[in-house]
A and B are shown apart, each in its own frame.
Chain A
Amino acid sequence: MQETKSNIMSSVIPKVKRKKEKKKSWNKIVQNWELYIFIAPAFLYFLIFHYGPMYGIQIAFKNFVPTKGIMGSSWVGFDHFTRFFNSYYFWDLLWNTLSISLYELAVGFPIPIILALAFNEVKNGSFKKLAQTVTYAPHFISVVVMGGMIITFLSPSSGMAVHLIEWLGFDAPQFLTDPKWFKTMYVFSGVWQSAGWGTIIYLAALSGVDPQQHEAAIIDGASRLQRIRYINIPVIIPTMTILLILNVGSLLGVGFEKILLLQNPLNMGASDVISTFVYRSGLVDAQYSFSTAVGLFNSVVNAFLLITVNQIVRRTNENSLW
């Protein structure tokens, strides 16, 4: 997820600048007919596997019966949405989803930035290389193994983290089953796994700083901290802005795969988020229409957040996504 988020930096929203004659472009189409073969697999893939499900969204407004199919099922309007909004768990789900995301944003967003600035200050080549290699590595650990590690390390009486806390003289809480600890466990394991990898994109931006700027600043008597503050940080602000927009845009799209693995009946009060609820009600309990409605609510809020934040950023500076 981390690298996919960062990759959007390159995203170019198509700029329509076409004022060429139709004939000319027709010639180009004919001349480059093979390029359409090149794009065909991707086109078909997105059409079938991304736009296809969008067609299926209509079951959120229907009472989907598998034997009748998507078209044959009867319309019920906003019934499923009303049921969801009026259900006793609606506010809990929304709160859990938002609070986990905001917690993650508050902790997980600044740490890679600080780490990248620190890496950038380390001049010892081999130590820097080692620290980078090691901190990047957890990015490649699968979410299942990550879940297994968390459960093993935090297991009461025998887990490594529990021993550590007791060694420091504290009473270790019941991390896995106490709802109070679920969010912290989720957020900090995420930081452990992805903070190092998250520095790459900032280090890339920092590598563009002209060393002469630093030399000049040193001669002018700037301290290290001042140089970071006035030279390095301004360079990474565009990157920060774009990542922030993306993070806010996925506030309701928390790391659902990990939550699903860490969820248990005892911590459900804090760990049930919209996406795990969609999974449970949709695929486990086969309430297809209801679950689709909940999922649609989630995507619409996400899209809305993304557009809003981007709009705000666009008003204030030039680093918006589009």
Chain B
Amino acid sequence: MVVTVKESGRDKAFAIGIYIYVFLAFIIVAYPVVYMLSASISDPKLVSSGEMWLWPKGITFDGYKRVFENASIWRGYGNTILYTVIGTLINLIVTLPAAYALSRKDFVGRNFFMGMFMVTMFFGGGLVPSYLLIKNLGMVDTIWAIVIPSAASIWNIIVSRTFFQSTIPNELQEAAQIDGCTNMRLFFQIVLPLSMPIIAVMGLFYGVGNWNSYFSALIYLNDENKFPLQLILRQILVLQEMSAQPGGSMDATTALALNNKAEVAALVKYAVIIVATLPIIAIYPFLQRYFVQGVMIGSVKG
């Protein structure tokens, strides 16, 4: 602050109010997360009775043990990683070249393509026609039903296009073309290396989306062996099908299940939430910059 005018009493009170407000928002968001972390390693009895309310009590790793012994969770994890990697690659291959083409002012037909893509934002065929299409294409119960129908998002194409427009100078490509450089070379050898930030942002946006998606798997996959993690989670967390599932230690599970099935199930739930969310939450603070950048590029009305 260059100017140092003494703050009035009212301003100070207002500033304190703002700090309290932000602090409250912080607590409201952070508390459930801390609670889940603690609950996942606490004695389930103390959790369900409410004695454990912030820090872990009666520490046990039983929940995690059960989660890691559960074969379907591992399989789900594997499937999710596969779908996320392949899906995100497809997303990038479809999005980036298209966005680059659309960013070029000398690209005849850009308005047509842009308009055609944008219509889909406001109007679509709906659930059943989409399902019938995927079915007719023979993609049901294959990985392609997961990765192809969401191959590109118009939002991300627009964000990437805005990035290319604002960072790749027109003179650069004009000079390259005068030197006889083809568009293909221009894109791969000049534009892409200059566009690492947008590649990172797009990879992250699409990657998180692929990791978290469950609905296409729910409607297009029937074979449990192909279920991604989110569908397995749905079974455990929402449909509550855990404790009876044959995992690694069936005998111990049944014995315990008879005693305090509900409490153990709750313990497993907390553990499974942590196991499923940790990869993203753990890397997110380091990548926050990129995510925020992505939203900001998108907010520039270009």
Contact = CB atoms under 8 A, between A and B. Distances in A.
Interface centre among B11, B15, B238, B297 (most CB of A within 10 A): B238
Interface stretch (A88-96, A100-108, A198-206): A198-206
A162 to B, nearest CB: 8
B297 A151 contact: no
Contacts of A299: 123-124, 126
A197 B79 CA distance: 28
Given A70-B132, A149-B32, A291-B128, A32 B106 contact: yes
B148 A192 contact: no
B238 A148 contact: yes
A218 interface: yes
Interface stretch (A178-186, A265-273, A276-284): A276-284
Nearest to A227: B11
B5 A219 contact: yes
B18 interface: yes
Contacts of A168: none
Interface residues of A, number: 111
B230 interface: yes
Contacts of A34: 182-184, 187
Interface residues of B, number: 122
Interface string A229-245: 00000000001000000
Contact of B126 (A8, A138, A196, A292): A292
A209 interface: no
Contact of B273 (A149, A215, A288): A149
Interface string A107-121: 000000011001101
Nearest to A289: B128
A11 interface: yes
A249 B126 CA distance: 16
* Interface SS, A side: helix
A53 interface: yes
Contacts of B118: 11, 13
Interface string A145-160: 1011101110101101
A14 B115 contact: yes
Contacts of A119: 22
29 contacts: A10-B297, A10-B302, A11-B158, A12-B158, A34-B184, A37-B184, A38-B183, A38-B187, A39-B113, A41-B93, A42-B98, A51-B120, A53-B125, A122-B18, A136-B288, A137-B284, A142-B230, A142-B233, A145-B233, A148-B233, A149-B273, A160-B35, A200-B295, A201-B295, A218-B3, A223-B14, A278-B126, A296-B126, A303-B123
